Structure 1
Amino acid sequence: MLPEIHALWIGPHLPARAAGCLRSFARLGHKVVLHTYAELAGVPAGVETADANLVLTADKIFRHTGNGQVAIFADWFRYKLLSRHRCLWVDCDVYAVRPIDFDSDTIFGREDDEVINIAVLMLPSESPVLAGLLALFEGKPRRPGSLNAGAWLRTRIKAMLYGVPWVATAPWGITGPYELARLLKVHGLAAQAQPPEVFYPVPWSCLDLLEKAQVNIAAHVGPETRAIHLWNEMTRGRGNPEPGSLLARVDAEGLGGPPALLV
């Protein structure tokens, strides 16, 4: 049986691109559940919604003091969800090209030789890795092993000045890929990471492959590829993708159009 796909969206309207990504999983046979804190417009057919308050209540939402984004809160949300429910977490900028049909309750993938990304993540509820990730957000603040002492001190001072939890001032990746990679290594699980071509076949440094119409994106998708991370954080502010590009086709799929990519 395919794992349930779970995701989170904070805001009143689901963008077309996120809708296209979620729809791609539903079209391939996954049950898809989108957690939300409010009534949400733009949810595509085949995607269920759930009350995000049942995982973490809305009063716990925080934004990063540097960029105003909720990405680090979303890290906490996914870890809390995985600790309570057997499912596969995906970010709303992950587009499925094949079912994720691994016979495992531990699923994650490398972005490159150094980084294990958390955009696609499944860990069993009893995982010590998951416990370590949750400890970043819950209980007495402790320095993550992936953050050096000087950076930890600066982060804590900034948090005190702003009157926010330390995670709201954390450097990028400390509550996500960097600490995940460290904990996986500590517990001897890093070798289980899927290679980049499975979930991250298009590197963030090659956004033109996603944005340009003349690119044959299928040529960059191998038989082992299950999904393509679309790097929303990197493409934000770059203008509209060219008509016919993968991103434009995913947007159209989110509005009810045909599948953006069939392999």
Structure 2
Amino acid sequence: MRHEYEIGMLWVEGPLSYVEVLCAQSFLDAGHHVKLYHYGHVQNVPEGVELVHGDTVLGSDRFIKHGRTGSFALFSDVFRYHLLQQNDRMIWADLDAYCVKTFKSETGHFYAWESDYQIAGGVLGLPSDSEALGQLLEMTEDEYGIPEWYPDEEKKRLENLREAGTPVHVGDLRWGVWGPHAVTHYLQKTGESKYAFPENWLYPISFKNRRFLMRSKWARKVRRAVTEDTYSVHFYGRRIRQFLATIGGVPEPGSYMEQLLTKHNINTAAAPIFTRQEREAQKATQEATPPVK
């Protein structure tokens, strides 16, 4: 039986690692229909996930990257707002969000605090007519806009640069400006923050403690943090993959992540996490191999 809420995810292109495979599979196993939006070829997609080209939501001409890291996080932020505005029965989930139990909402709002001061957007449900969603969409139309929640001194500095003909692009602003910072600001501004869940409902393990998920000695602590109220556990994708690459590419036996991989029958070897050296070696091999004629 399928649940009434679909899950929307984005992977621009390239192979999924077993971390993303696990997360996508967890939503399928919880009864959700999962749509994975993409712009290029994607490999290792679990059977049952519907692949949908991202142009149906937002054109690739809107691609935008973070200046320092080259990350597509800014584009992902914009993409999820358009997706939610276009689909009233969909909840957004990052591909590093593991589904503990079926997502349900009586109001269409589905998000949680990740700290005492910030609401995260890694899992995000908003009604299409949400006032906060409308303001998020309006804000992200201007790549050189000045965030209204910035301190007066910083806003003045950015205004001076704009008047001098050298406006600062959003890709050069602080990380998360169009993501959790904006989500928190507008939900609080409109009063919709009243719908936010407590931290342990979607983020029972904090970013600071992310390695607990892959270490066997912390498995019991993680299981205690995941309560009957918990809908999702966040795996903090890029950082988790980087750490896994340093410990042999797989979580420790008996760790929380290893237990989940076993539960969902995920073959880690079929969607591996490569070390930096392995990726560089693969790239060198591909570049050295002459094209087939």
Partner of 2:6: 4
Partner of 2:215: 212
For structure 1, list consecutive stretches of 5 or more residues without a partner in the other structure: 258-263
The correspondence for 1:90, drawn from 84, 93, 107, is 93
Q: Give runs of aligned pairs for residues 16-165 of structure 1, distance below 5 A.
A: 16-86=18-88, 87-139=90-142, 141-152=144-155, 153=157
Aligned alpha-carbon RMSD (Å): 2.5
Distance, in Å, in 2 between the alignment partners of 1:230 and 1:116 is 17
Q: Is the 8 A contact 1:96 1:227 kept in 2?
A: yes
The offset of 1:233, in angstroms, is 3.8
Distance, in Å, in 2 between the alignment partners of 1:77 and 1:249 is 32
Q: Compare 28-37 and 233-242 and name the one that shifted more.
A: 233-242
SS in 1 for 2:148: coil
SS in 2 for 1:7: strand
Corresponding position: 1:246 with 2:256: yes
The offset of 1:256, in angstroms, is 4.5
Question: When the two structures are aligned, how many residues end up with a matched partner?
Answer: 254
The offset of 1:156, in angstroms, is 9.1
Task: Tell me which structure has the larger Cα radius of gyration.
Answer: 2
Corresponding position: 1:194 with 2:197: yes
Do the aligned partners of residues 140 and 89 (structure 1) sit closer, same or farther apart at CA in structure 2, a change above 3 Å counting? closer
Do the aligned partners of residues 250 and 63 (structure 1) sit closer, same or farther apart at CA in structure 2, a change above 3 Å counting? farther
SS in 2 for 1:18: helix
Name the structure, 1 or 2, with higher relative contact order (CA <8 Å, separation 6+): 1
Q: Is the 8 A contact 1:37 1:53 kept in 2?
A: yes
The amino acid of 1:224's aligned partner reads D
In the superposition, the TM-score normalised over structure 1's length comes to: 0.87
Do the aligned partners of residues 25 and 144 (structure 1) sit closer, same or farther apart at CA in structure 2, a change above 3 Å counting? same
Q: Give runs of aligned pairs for residues 165-204 of structure 1, distance below 5 A.
A: 166-204=169-207
Distance, in Å, in 2 between the alignment partners of 1:178 and 1:156 is 23
The amino acid of 1:79's aligned partner reads Y
The offset of 1:219, in angstroms, is 2.0
The offset of 1:60, in angstroms, is 1.9
Q: Is the 8 A contact 2:223 2:256 kept in 1?
A: no
SS in 2 for 1:204: coil
Q: Which structure shows the bigger proportion of residues in helix conformation?
A: 2
Q: Is the 8 A contact 1:21 1:254 kept in 2?
A: no
Q: Is the 8 A contact 1:19 1:254 kept in 2?
A: no
Distance, in Å, in 1 between the alignment partners of 2:159 and 2:27 is 38
The amino acid of 1:50's aligned partner reads V
Do the aligned partners of residues 33 and 12 (structure 1) sit closer, same or farther apart at CA in structure 2, a change above 3 Å counting? same
Q: Is the 8 A contact 2:114 2:120 kept in 1?
A: yes
Partner of 2:278: none
Do the aligned partners of residues 33 and 139 (structure 1) sit closer, same or farther apart at CA in structure 2, a change above 3 Å counting? same
Do the aligned partners of residues 224 and 64 (structure 1) sit closer, same or farther apart at CA in structure 2, a change above 3 Å counting? same
The correspondence for 1:221, drawn from 226, 234, 242, is 226
Q: Is the 8 A contact 2:84 2:128 kept in 1?
A: yes
Q: Is the 8 A contact 1:18 1:254 kept in 2?
A: no
Distance, in Å, in 2 between the alignment partners of 1:121 and 1:46 is 22
Do the aligned partners of residues 188 and 11 (structure 1) sit closer, same or farther apart at CA in structure 2, a change above 3 Å counting? same
Q: Compare 227-236 and 128-137 and name the one that shifted more.
A: 227-236
